[in-house]
Structure 1
Amino acid sequence: MDRYFGISQSGSTVRKEVIAGITTFLTMAYIVFVNPSILVQAVPGIFDQTGKIIDQSLYNSYYGAFMVATILGGATATLIMGLFANYPFALAPGMGLNAYFTYTVCLKLGIPWQLALTAVFIEGLIFVILTLTGARSFVATAVPQPVKAATGAGIGLFIALIGLKNAGIVMPDPITAVTLGHLNKPDTLLAIIGFFITVVLFALQVPGSILLGIILTTVIGTFPIFNVTHYQGIIGKIPDISPTFFKIQFDSKTLLSGAFWVVVATFFFVDFFDTLGTLTGLAESAGFTKKKGELERAKPAYLADAIGTVIGSLFGTSTVTTYIESSTGIAAGGRTGLTAIVVALLMLAMLFFSPLALTIPSAATAPALIFVGVLMIKSLMSIKWDDITDAVPAFVTLTMIPFTYSIANGIALGIITYPIVKTFSGKRKEVHWFTWVLALLFIAYLTFFRE
């Protein structure tokens, strides 16, 4: 083991690697509960128009299947990362991408969840091909930095908006579009309490603060004053994955639709640059980068992400990506793939906790969504706000994602804005030629092909 992972050579020990793996797992285990709670909303016939469950049996069936898909997709990708890339990085279905999958692709565009999984599958294959051929670096340079940074923050706002909506803190209004909800409702009040619990735990640097916040909020929901949490157990048999397993389908009409390929492109864009930024940041913090700032063993690291996405879509989950929460394990001393292996094994152990997952109400997961939005907004710090030619494309990207309820729209409008502003401001040389190609394609789509 020491020889395979190079534990002693990296200055670590088996004990440190195990502790690091446990630490990383605790900080990201919330995805096991949050991801299925988002994806299950894409399945017709489970919820009414107000968001209430109308078929509990169908809900339990699909929630359990999405939970298993979440675990298997994340664990598989993390095992690949640990065994072949030998990095202490963990992977799981990405926040933001799961929201885009459900709320934009399925509920807004009306694309069945099976075809949405097909889009994820195709996106993963494109990622694999680009990584194997070395074209990844070319694509990375074509998208403007302000748009990349604003996309992460915009997704954070998008996730937070979904969390606020699920909590009842924000609700629709026929005149102002949105307004403040009824804060005295049990679900809403519980979500507010859960948010503050999570914030305080995180501020106190309590390990697994988001997961612990979900659990504590669930417990408080059992109090008679709320009566929101309905206990269904803790440990049980592994749920049946058949409702979501291998459900990708290739519908000729949809595959010829411009909207479908924009969905594929959006999944790819967010996955690609989220992985790029996360891996780079984690590698720099752990000292894994070369002299030019490049990641050592970059190809197997990116392949772990790409293959994880392909396999995850076959299990039935949205795009799998590298988690920034891996930084907690690195801070605890994790330096090799053994840390990732520990995370993967702990994720697989979660397969037996489906009753606990079904016990957790949406009022307990909504605070996690809002808080993750808080964490993602910090990417705005890297934008040169004093340069208006950077600030405007970033602002357009940032605002259009939540305001149009679409990550795709925000990215498209940001990429369109960037070359126009730069070129007519005398900074044409800062614009990559392929950025113009992307901008023109997005203009054509938004003008002529968008449904």
Structure 2
Amino acid sequence: MNNLVEKLFKLTDNKTNVRTEMLAGLTTFMTMAYILAVNPGILSASGMPKGGIFLATALAAALGSLLMAFFSNYPFVLAPGLGLNAFFSYTVVLTMGYSWQFALLAVFVEGLIFLILSLTPVRRAIFNSIPISLKTAVAVGIGLFITFIALQGAKVIVNNDATLVGMVSFHNSDFHTTGIWALLALIGTVLTAVMVVKKVKAAILLGIFATWFLGIISELVGIYTPNPAAGFFSIVPRFGNYFSDLGNTFSEFGITFGALFNSGSWTHTQGGAVVGQGWSLVTSLDFFVVMFAFFFVDLFDTLGTLIGVSMKGGFLKDGKLSRINGALCADSIATSAGAILGTSTTTTYVESASGVAAGGRTGLTSVGAAGLFLASILLAPIFLAVPSFATAPALMIVGFYMVSSVVKINFSSYGEAIPAFICIAGMPLTYSISDGIMLGVVSYTVINLLTGKRKRVNYVMGILSILFVLKYALM
């Protein structure tokens, strides 16, 4: 068995072992297990059943991660992507009026197009054409972005009418919900940081469990008071209706599985009235627009994540990722397979960096995470109870690791450094990896062309810049 694992994943060549890889897989899973609760909450707004979405989410994540492991041997983990699921529900279904089955079809087709491009030099050329300064900026920007997400999820950063965002007020907010949520995240971050400084093994994972444990104690003694109406749920696992809830989950999965192939359910409504139905919708301009929107965001979210995590793991050689075709094919197939299962675009997760930080270097990390996603189907009450304040410290530390790459940017070369800075700032401030890359690519191209540094701008960067401008001008 050990020989087979060694042969498949080349652990010795990558200076790792089974224990380290499994621990890394567990760490990655714990930092992204929130998607098992968040994705059903978002996609159900489109009318899809929550139980079916939950099961589809777990299965798509497991399948995608296994494909990544065996196609590329990189420690990248996949799951339905945030942002794209919101576009699915709130834009395509609730705003444009298309049925969720039709939206799944658009995701399915987008994945097929991705796969075709992944089998050609196109996606590899895009990845390799991005200059090393922007690749580094992407890693740094993602670090800031996931830190921002962590602070928001932990209620440390909240909405502020005057400045858009601000820090939580422990005096003006309800301390037994928002206040203690934020305080536990801050305490957990300090605990995790201390363990990292002390070089404690599995510090990130231990930080998650320690913070969660503190939260459970807070709830049991009454310091934390769940308020489901305000989005604050119990963080103590409950098993009272375990078997009936599990049965409902599988029953609802029968509704979402394969639903995209039911042409009779492809509808377009306006003002509550059906204005289009069936195959005629597939040939419409709107289908292309919807499919292209999924395609465009998925492409650059995936490339951005691969760059950022690869930079952190030391997988880039001369700015190139050696087995990128396998990684891209895995991502593409997972997207189409996820649509069949009943979820929006499945993509590579930036939280994979937490597993890399824990020592993950091969696809065995992805296999470990995939196994846990499958196990989560049977242990849903536990995994769904992991609160965002418990994963926030892990994401904060991962953000720190990724931001440390900023020293690799040559700030004395303004033509390289200014676009890199724009890219870094763009990701957290636009709340989008793809938007940050867009700002970096376009500014790099324009600044260097206008300053006479045309040799820095290859034809792929030029084409990307034009496409980015057209995308934001027309959509």
Normalising by structure 2, what TM-score? 0.73
Alignment-mate amino acid for residue 209 of structure 2: L
Work out the number of aligned pairs and report it. 421
Residue number in structure 1 paired with 2:332: 306
Of residues 166, 190, 201 in structure 1, which corresponds to 2:181? 190
Name the CA shift for 1:162/1:351 in 2 (closer, same or farther; >3 Å): same
Name the CA shift for 1:400/1:108 in 2 (closer, same or farther; >3 Å): farther
Name the CA shift for 1:149/1:124 in 2 (closer, same or farther; >3 Å): farther
Residue pair 1:37, 1:362 contacting (<8 A) in 2 also? no
Alignment-mate amino acid for residue 186 of structure 1: H
Instruction: For 1:8 and 1:33, locate their aligned partners in 2 and report how far apart those are by CA, in whole Å.
Output: 26
Is 1:128 aligned to residue 128 of structure 2?
no
Worse-matched range after superposition: 421-430 or 274-283: 274-283
Shift of 1:3: 5.5
Of residues 221, 224, 242 in structure 1, which corresponds to 2:222? 224
Instruction: For 2:469 and 2:319, locate their aligned partners in 1 and report how far apart those are by CA, in whole Å.
Output: 34
Instruction: For 1:197 and 1:429, locate their aligned partners in 2 and report how far apart those are by CA, in whole Å.
Output: 48
Alignment-mate amino acid for residue 395 of structure 1: F
Name the CA shift for 1:404/1:348 in 2 (closer, same or farther; >3 Å): closer
Instruction: For 1:247 and 1:158, locate their aligned partners in 2 and report how far apart those are by CA, in whole Å.
Output: 34
Q: Tell me the secondary structure at the aligned position of residue 34 of structure 2.
A: helix
Instruction: For 2:406 and 2:366, locate their aligned partners in 1 and report how far apart those are by CA, in whole Å.
Output: 29
Residue pair 1:17, 1:339 contacting (<8 A) in 2 also? no
Q: Residues 28-43 of structure 1 correspond to what in structure 2 (within 5 A)? A: 28-31=28-31, 33-43=33-43
Instruction: For 1:363 and 1:6, locate their aligned partners in 2 and report how far apart those are by CA, in whole Å.
Output: 37
Shift of 1:406: 3.6
Residue number in structure 2 paired with 1:91: 77
Residue pair 2:39, 2:54 contacting (<8 A) in 1 also? no
Name the CA shift for 1:36/1:118 in 2 (closer, same or farther; >3 Å): farther
Name the CA shift for 1:383/1:127 in 2 (closer, same or farther; >3 Å): farther
Q: Residues 265-344 of structure 1 correspond to what in structure 2 (within 5 A)? A: 265-275=296-306, 278-279=309-310, 282=313, 284=315, 299-315=325-341, 316-321=343-348, 323-327=352-356, 340-344=366-370
Residue pair 1:309, 1:320 contacting (<8 A) in 2 also? yes
Is 1:151 aligned to residue 129 of structure 2?
no
Q: Please list the CA deviations of residues 17-55 of structure 1 after superposition, one character each: whole Å capped at 9, or x if unmatched.
A: 542343122211224531133323423659xxxxxxxxx
Shift of 1:302: 4.1
Worse-matched range after superposition: 173-182 or 262-271: 173-182
Residue number in structure 2 paired with 1:402: 428
Q: Please list the CA deviations of residues 232-252 of structure 1 after superposition, one character each: whole Å capped at 9, or x if unmatched.
A: 526945433346544557764
Q: Tell me the secondary structure at the aligned position of residue 159 of structure 2.
A: strand
Of residues 161, 173, 179 in structure 1, which corresponds to 2:166? 179
Q: Please list the CA deviations of residues 358-416 of structure 1 after superposition, one character each: whole Å capped at 9, or x if unmatched.
A: 43445445555555544443343432222211222122222233333343433222222
Q: Residues 186-265 of structure 1 correspond to what in structure 2 (within 5 A)? A: 186-188=176-178, 189-201=180-192, 203-204=194-195, 205-207=200-202, 208-209=205-206, 211-213=208-210, 215-222=212-219, 223-228=221-226, 230=234, 231-233=236-238, 236-237=242-243, 238=246, 239-240=249-250, 241-242=253-254, 244-246=256-258, 248=260, 252=284, 254-257=286-289, 261-265=292-296
Name the CA shift for 1:75/1:420 in 2 (closer, same or farther; >3 Å): same
Shift of 1:268: 0.8
Residue pair 1:154, 1:399 contacting (<8 A) in 2 also? yes
Residue number in structure 2 paired with 1:50: none
Q: Residues 348-367 of structure 1 correspond to what in structure 2 (within 5 A)? A: 348-365=374-391
Q: Residues 19-58 of structure 1 correspond to what in structure 2 (within 5 A)? A: 19-31=19-31, 33-43=33-43
Name the CA shift for 1:272/1:18 in 2 (closer, same or farther; >3 Å): same
Q: Which segments of 5 or more consecutive residues in structure 1 lack a partner in the other structure?
A: 47-57
Name the CA shift for 1:92/1:442 in 2 (closer, same or farther; >3 Å): closer
Instruction: For 1:394 and 1:67, locate their aligned partners in 2 and report how far apart those are by CA, in whole Å.
Output: 38
Q: Please list the CA deviations of residues 199-228 of structure 1 after superposition, one character each: whole Å capped at 9, or x if unmatched.
A: 523541342235425532541441301123
Instruction: For 1:108 and 1:157, locate their aligned partners in 2 and report how far apart those are by CA, in whole Å.
Output: 26
Residue pair 1:77, 1:308 contacting (<8 A) in 2 also? yes
Q: Tell me the secondary structure at the aligned position of residue 83 of structure 2.
A: helix
Residue pair 1:100, 1:407 contacting (<8 A) in 2 also? no
Q: Tell me the secondary structure at the aligned position of residue 183 of structure 1.
A: coil
Name the CA shift for 1:247/1:396 in 2 (closer, same or farther; >3 Å): farther
Instruction: For 1:90 and 1:418, locate their aligned partners in 2 and report how far apart those are by CA, in whole Å.
Output: 28
Is 1:101 aligned to residue 84 of structure 2?
yes
Of residues 396, 419, 423 in structure 2, which corresponds to 1:393? 419
